[in-house]
Each structure stands twice: as structure tokens, then as C-alpha cells.
Amino acid sequence: MILQIQKGENNPVLRKKTQTIDKIDEGILQLVKDMIETMNKNSGVGLSANQIGRNIRLFVVHPNLSKKTVFINPKIYKASKKKIISEEGCLSVPGVYKKLQRAKSLKIEAVDENDKQFKLKAKDLLARVIQHELDHLNGILIIDKNE
């Protein structure tokens, strides 16, 4: 099912810090499927749960970018000092593109859709998408960030 994307820089749903997921149940698994479908339909490379109105710590990334696509309760535990500047857009603030500095590479820990904890090394575009989506889960949008 295609879900509606929450939009607007002052949208309260996008501005709230999201909550840890305690249990991966049928509802979460269905949500993951719907989020992937919604991301693809909108030609996105990532989508976070609060972007479709759910206040929980979950995001998905496009399978072209990563072998891991579902990130539940994600945590970046290492980020490179080296930064890269590149232009970013966001499905929740359409029409806005901003050149942002992001860590070139990082290490992230999360739980997947099978309730399995994993660690992943990411660089370049994948690292950027992960940082963008984690910002979402903390209520931060690209318009808040300095170039």
C-alpha cells in the first residue's frame, strides 16, 4: 500500500523525536513493506517512519544502495572526520535542494526485519542517506542544517 508522505518544515510529525521499537510484530513488517513501496513510488533513496506519520525509529533505504535495507532502532557508532559536500533533497520538503556537509563514511548498528542485530559500514551516497534518515528520526530536516 502506498502511504501518504508527511510534508512541510513545520509539520509536527516531522519535528518530533521518534520512539524506540520494542517488538517487531506483523504491523511493523507490513509497515516496512508499505514504506519500501512508497519510497519506490516516489523515486526516493530512503524513507523514515515519521515521514509517513509513524513516530518510531525505523527507516528504509533503496536496495541499489545497500544489501541491508531495513534499519530498526539504528545508531551510528562511528563517523569519519572526513566530510563531503553534496546536494540533498527530501520528499518531505519538495523543491528544496541544499548542499550539505556529511561524514564520508560511518558505521551503523541496527536491527533488521528479522529481528537480527547487524553492523554495517557505509560510505559516500549510502552514508549520506543514512545520516539524512537518522536526522529525520530525531526531528531534523535539511532546512535546519548549515551548508
Residues that bind Zn ion (CB under 5 A): 90
Give the shortest CB-142-to-Zn ion separation in angstroms: 7
Q: Is 62 annotated as a binding residue?
A: no
Give the shortest CB-105-to-Zn ion separation in angstroms: 20
Instruction: Choose between 64 and 114: whose C-beta lies nearer to Zn ion.
Output: 64
Give the shortest CB-90-to-Zn ion separation in angstroms: 3
Which residue is at the shortest CB distance from Zn ion? 90
Strand-pair category, 70-79 with 83-88: unpaired
> What is the C-alpha to C-alpha distance for residues 47 and 45, in angstroms, rounded to an integer?
7
Which of 127, 124, 59 minimizes the C-alpha distance to 91?
Answer: 59
The answer to whether 37 is a known catalytic residue is no
Integer angstrom CA distances of residue 16 from 13, 24, 31, 67, 78: 6, 21, 19, 29, 24
Catalytic site positions: 133
Known binding-site positions for Fe cation: 90, 132, 136
